[in-house]
Structure 1
């Protein structure tokens, strides 16, 4: 939850459906950033 809060402390939208979409976008961004930071190992040989 702390990582989600790093992208913004408050939700912009007041409508529940839009809030859900906003949170999903934030989670997708965090997943993408996490994937970029994970090292890829390749077996040699």
Structure 2
């Protein structure tokens, strides 16, 4: 998570095209992270 925050902070210091690329990468990383989070359901 810390790396993602650093990536977002770095994106603000770059040109608009580069920011768009970084935001797409961040979105992809968040999607893959969401796939690895277990879903807990109550039984009963």
TM-score range, shorter chain: 0.5 to 0.7
**TM-score between both structures, scaled by the size of structure 1:** 0.65
- The structure with the greater share of residues assigned to helix is 2
Q: Which runs of 5+ in 2 are unaligned?
A: 5-13
How many residue pairs are counted as aligned between the two chains? 33
After TM superposition, which residue ranges in structure 1, 4 or more long, deviate above 2 angstroms? Answer: none
Report the aligned-residue RMSD.
Answer: 1.9
**TM-score between both structures, scaled by the size of structure 2:** 0.67
Name the structure, 1 or 2, with higher relative contact order (CA <8 Å, separation 6+). Answer: 1
